[in-house]
Structure 1
Amino acid sequence: MTSTPLLSNFFAGRWQDGTGNGSTLLDPVLGTSLVRVSSAGLNLAEGFAFAREQGGAALRALTYKQRAALLGDIVKVLQANRDAYYEIATANCGTTNKDSAVDIDGAIFTLGYYTKQGEALGDATLLLDGERIRVAKDPVFQTQHIMSPTRGVALFINAFNFPSWGLWEKAAPALLSGVPVIVKPATATAWLTQRMVKDVVDAGILPAGALSVVCGSSAGLMDQLQPFDVVSFTGSAETARIIRSHPAVAQRSVRCNIEADSLNSALLDPAAAAGDEAFNLLVSEVVREMTVKSGQKCTAIRRIFVPRALFDAAAEAIGAKLAKTTVGNPRNETTRMGALVSREQFDSVTAGIAHLQTEAETLFDGRSAALVDADPSVAACVAPVLLGHRQPMQAKVLHEVEVFGPVATLMAYDSEEQAYELIRRGEGSLVASVYSCDPAFIARAAIALADSHGRVHAISPDVAAMQSGHGNVMPMSLHGGPGRAGGGEELGGLRALGFYHRRSAVQGSTAALDVLMASGAPFKP
């Protein structure tokens, strides 16, 4: 028997311990055991039925405004326990306090945003989608499209990099919609997710069955899904393929949202010059995106496109800033970048860098520098690496392989159209950022890149001090992307509620539709 404490699952309205030894979560810097998780032995059918029948019915009995009030109460609980979450993130995720804030405070902000969005919907119990449409010559017979909460459960299978934000950015619109949530956090960093759920459950905020957490193996979870359930997955393209081909999705038409791999880009205006405002903004943003959370963000910059004449200047400027990044134990106040989440991820990133180096030259490699307060044979720390390719039209691997760590590749382009073509070789991404002083170029780039990106983030000197960041996902903007990025959509204000609602056309008399509309709120995403 192990002395490492076991985290309980909250499932079927009660706390339950999984059987067996389960999986041990480790400190990625010190290598020490923290807690164990196990989902073995859980009655999955019971838990899903309880969430659907108890949690779903209780949530749907409330108005949007009442459910928004629940989100507001969750915000208060999370704020009250914020210090504990930071301690867990340092121990289990290896992040500095600044990086932990992206996950923890980002989650609280997103919940607060949807609290306000829900309040604005008022006492409605359904959403009105558009205006009435006349069906017959006589206007007494019309159509009104409505959106009503699905009578199912939302299963979230989340990634390891955002155990806090990954839960709440999905749960906020789901709970606001009236749909109960079952979250299966990634095992490596499940502690923070479990603790947050525990605090909310202990506070007695939500109806029984509205929020459940299953830690450990995901085996059997997809088998429980029924036609009116939904599943949202964030993670690798390989796992996404398994989910898409599962009978629940392929045969029972369970609604599925996927966010997978993404080779996000940064593009510098061809009219830029070394050291000018646009150039400096790109350099700063690239360095930030390479180092925040050790590059473990689905939105991080992976490919950097600059005019050929600026390739060497950009490489020098980015490398100089990266050289100032101290890497190691996040508990040491001199550390600026912490660890990857595990030694397994360390091995994956190290192998990935070597794979990219088969095509790219190495422009900066910080891995020879000593770690701060950490044993390199134990800690999952990888220093930033900047690669480069001067003829990226000839590259293949660099446009296909995402290394999920502090790694990016600088690429030269010869014309504006060539830059767009190179960016599109990513085959669909979450975000591309554009750096320019010229509004006309920004507009052209946005139009050229919008079809292959979920978000185009334009950074110009006039917004430099207030822009939210290439990699920061804001709840009022769409998060998702086509093609390789998974084809999914999350957030985007009230658009997020669409995934948890079913659209239906009600055809009837003007009198009947008048009564119906009294129960609804206008839906104008």
Structure 2
Amino acid sequence: MTTLENYTLGRWHAGSGDQQELYDASTGEVIALAHPEGYDFASILDYGRRVGNPALRKLTFHERGRMLKALAFYLQERKEQFYELSYRSGATRADSWIDIEGGIGNLFANASLRRKFPDKPFYVEGEPVGLSKGGTFMAQHLLVPREGVAVHINAYNFPIWGMLEKIAVNLLAGMPAVVKPAVPTAYLTEAVVREIIKSGILPEGALQLVVGSGQGILDHVTYQDVVTFTGSAATGRKLRAHPRIVEEAVPFTMEADSLNAAVLGLDAKPGTPEFDLFVKEVRKEMTAKCGQKCTAIRRIIVPSTLLEDVQIALGKALSQTTVGHPLAEGVRMGALAGREQAAILRDKVRRLAERTPIVYGDLDTVNILGQERGADAAKGAFISPILLLNERPFEHLDSHEVEAFGPVATLMPYKDTAEAVRLTNLGRGSLVTSIATNSAEVAQEFVLGAATHHGRILVLNEEMAKESTGHGSPLPMLIHGGPGRAGGGQEMGGIRGVEHFMQRVALQGSPSMITAITQVYQPKAKQIEKDKHPFQHYFEELEIGQAYVTHKHTVTEADITNFAQVSGDNFYAHVDETSLEGTLFTGRVAHGYYILSKAAGMFVDPRKGPVLLNYGLDECRFTKPVYPGTTIGVTLTVKEKIGQEKRDETDVAKGIVRWLVEVTDQTCETVAVATILTMVKKKNQE
């Protein structure tokens, strides 16, 4: 037996107050003790703001991302010790994989997300906004890390994933975190944090852990902090209404348990792949992690003509779910996280069963495997999968209002897709819903009707089934949250998630000043001219705003004809002057891609130099027709520089340069504009 410790103010220490016992979910054995009191939350939050925040803020997105990558590899190498501990929570190997490797996977995913950001501590968002006719007054949105702390209040069902999926995002954004896991499974969170601190990968103050009660932590948050909560909707509403949250306008995101639904499409009849996939998905979501998933399926909505077929098929599928100790051979579903959770679940099921009878499973009796490993039906938190039937789902509304947080779901019928949408939406907001259908018409009607009530919608059919991550899998690059009962918040979501921990400011000024601040060249800003071609400069030597003006070229009919022959682009406007009546053109017009190609020929320096290759094209617009006789010139300007990491010791040190290409005619009007990318060698190869 161990006593759990907190990591705050740069040290490990136990709390105070009466000891709280933490139990093995299968055997009922006491496995750890936690002290719920003795926390100086004002000092803990101040430490994060004062020590952790400056250390993270000064790092660039790329440096933070590499930090996450190193941490992911470090934890991956030590995952087996987490699995051994996770079995004590009642989770099988497959359940623990979601929690452990799913959490580590979030670190990897957010580490890769760094490439979507610049190699800077801040992020320039979106396109510049012109605010004046002459172009000397403009605006640009900028995001910087907040100066506070991310306070994460997590649920008991995913003690590792719940922490890692959140801190991966706030650390990439440049904010430190204080993590408050739910006490029943805090021993898993503590084990992971011990390894994180031992690794030395994170700056001091970037992560603090409180394993006991979080009572009073919100009394000390400020408007620079961010609070996230995962758990019951009732608790979340209380926290969101905390006076300090309201007074300081503290950003608060809530991801609450919701009554997620799975719908069987009208076309998915027995014998179709979609019918079989639906039954398999429902069984999996009811029993994975013993149904203790915020995304688990609680309502099973099927065509009224198929109600009996689905009930029989689900009963058969659920009967193959063996329950017992997670380490016992043949066990497919373990225990709930604890006896307290099992007692609450049974109360909820009894309430549901008053009007919607249990048609599969037994609330009070379950046959378990693994007694030789200490599994005890009386002392453990085992329960049978439970399927209820609500034949009048528009009248018996408990199915849409009461959530039994475990391997419990309610079967209910519908007549048409519009009715399926109404039933799904009676849950008043969920994290996810899914529909099994191979009909595009059914899918479109359902999605457009249900989208306002759900954070994520999965359309399940045979085409995508082999690669689908499934109904219940939140993904780092997609939002995880939902409206209404689901909390109204969003977690993860790629760049969207990172932005939640940053402050957006609308920056106004002259193009030259905003260029200097953001290190991204803005049109009309002052340019820098140097004595040699920019392609002869190494990456470090190039300056934002450095420009090169080319010689001129007059476009001829021969240019257009030759380009048509070489490219094979014989669009009538380029080659057939007799077909122009009723068009926008007054004569044969040059190909847009000829203009871009010719521009490249005009600005490229043919000599060997630091430029390694053309990396691609980000944006391109052809803004004015170019006819034979038009004289064009090009201005090439360094728009942005993005350093790249060396893959290994033999790799060349280099970076990506984004160039603004502006092509103008003899009247000084722009005829084409593009952003091209080149890979440029660094002078310093260390």
Q: TM-score, normalised by structure 2?
A: 0.74
Give the conservation status (yes or no) of the 8 Å contact 1:126–1:521: no
1:479 maps to what in 2? 480
Stretch deviating more after TM superposition (346-355 or 16-25):
16-25
Q: Which of residues 207, 213, 217 in structure 2 aligns to 1:217?
A: 213
| Bigger mean CA offset, 37-46 vs 311-320 | 37-46
Q: Give yes or no for contact 1:299–1:430 (8 Å, CA) kept in 2.
A: yes
Higher helix share: 1
Q: Which moved more, 1:308-317 or 1:78-87?
A: 78-87
Query: 1:19-60: per-residue Cα shift (whole Å, max 9, x none)?
Result: 234311110111111111225223222211111011000000
| Aligned counterparts of 2:44 and 2:262: Cα–Cα separation in 1 | 44
Number of aligned positions between the proteins: 518
Amino acid paired to 1:341: A
Find the counterpart in structure 1 of residue 40 from structure 2.
43
Give the equivalent residue in structure 2 for 1:284.
Answer: 280
**Aligned-pair CA distance for 1:369:** 4.2
Structure 2 counterpart of 1:116, one-letter code:
S
In structure 2, the residue matched to 1:260 is: 256
- The partner residue of 1:138 within 134, 156, 175 is 134
How far apart are residue 180 of structure 1 and its match? 0.2
2 CA distance for matches of 1:90 and 1:370? Answer: 19
How many Å apart are 1:366 and its aligned residue?
Answer: 4.8
Question: Structure 1 residue 83 and structure 2 residue 84: aligned?
Answer: no
- CA offset digits 1:340-364 (Å, max 9, x no partner): 0010011011111111111212221
**Matching of residues 352-371 of structure 1 within 5 Å:** 352-366=348-362, 368-371=365-368
Equivalent in the alignment of 1:190? 186
The secondary structure found in structure 1 opposite 2:184 is helix
* Cα shift at 1:288: 0.2
CA distance in 1, matches of 2:37, 2:87: 28
Paired position in structure 2 for 1:234: 230
Aligned ranges 1:122-161 → 2 under 5 Å: 122-161=118-157
What does residue 298 of structure 1 align with?
A: 294
Task: State the match for 1:311 in structure 2.
Answer: 307
Q: Is the 8 A contact 2:257 2:295 kept in 1?
A: no
Match of 1:6 in 2: 3
Equivalent residue number for residue 524 of structure 2: none
State the Cα distance separating 1:276 from its structure 2 match.
1.5
After the TM superposition, which segments of 4 or more aligned residues of structure 1 sit over 3 Å from their partners?
366-369, 519-522
Match for 2:330: what amino acid?
T
**Do the aligned residues in 1 keep the contact of 2:418 with 2:446 (CA within 8 Å)?**
no
Indicate the larger mover: 142-151 or 119-128. 119-128
| Match for residue 341 of structure 2 among 341, 345, 348 | 345
Give the Cα–Cα distance (whole angstroms) in 1 for the partners of residues 146 and 46 of structure 2.
15
Find the residue that maps to 2:369 and give its secondary structure: coil
Q: Give how far 1:521 is off.
A: 9.5
Alignment partner, residue 615 of structure 2: none
Unaligned runs of 5+ in 1: none
1:259 aligned counterpart, secondary structure? strand
SS in 2 for 1:454: coil
Taking every aligned residue pair, what percent have the same amino acid on both sides?
39
Deviation at 1:516, TM superposition (A): 2.2
Q: Which residue of 2 aligns with 1:19?
A: 16
Deviation at 1:304, TM superposition (A): 0.7
Using the TM superposition, give the Cα deviation of residue 154 of structure 1 relative to its aligned residue in structure 2, in angstroms: 0.2
2:399 — aligned with what? 398
Q: Which residue of 2 aligns with 1:454?
A: 455
| Residue number in structure 2 paired with 1:334 | 330
**Are the counterparts in 2 of residues 7 and 17 from structure 1 also a CA contact under 8 Å?**
yes
1:327 shift after superposition: 0.5
Tell me which amino acid in the other structure corresponds to 1:328. G
Contact 1:277 1:437 in 2 (8 A): no
Contact 1:128 1:521 in 2 (8 A): no
State the structure with more CA Rg: 2
Q: Distance in 2 between the 1:488 and 1:8 partners?
A: 31
User: Separation in 1 of the partners of 2:40 and 2:485?
Assistant: 35
Tell whether 2:386 aligns with 1:385.
yes
Within 2, Cα distance between the matches of 1:42 and 1:270?
A: 56
For 2:70, the equivalent position in structure 1 comes to 73
Does the residue aligned with 1:169 lie in a helix, a strand or coil? helix
Secondary structure of the corresponding residue to residue 310 of structure 2 = helix
Write the letter of the residue equivalent to 1:24. E
- Tell me the secondary structure at the aligned position of residue 178 of structure 2: strand
- Distance in 1, matches of 2:457 and 2:303, equals 19
One-letter amino acid of the counterpart of residue 6, structure 2: N
- Aligned CA distance change for structure 1 residues 424 and 14 (closer, same or farther; 3 Å): same
Please say if 1:30 is aligned against 2:31: no
* Structure 1 residues 401 and 472, CA gap change in structure 2 (3 angstroms): same
Q: Which residues of structure 2 form unaligned runs of 5+?
A: 521-639, 643-686
CA distance in 2, matches of 1:423, 1:521: 48
2-side partners of 1:265 and 1:312: how far apart?
A: 18
8 Å Cα contact 2:23-2:30 kept in structure 1: yes
Q: Which amino acid aligns with 2:180?
A: K
Secondary structure of 1:315's match?
helix
CA distance in 2, matches of 1:155, 1:66: 23
Q: Distance in 2 between matches of 1:317 and 1:5?
A: 45
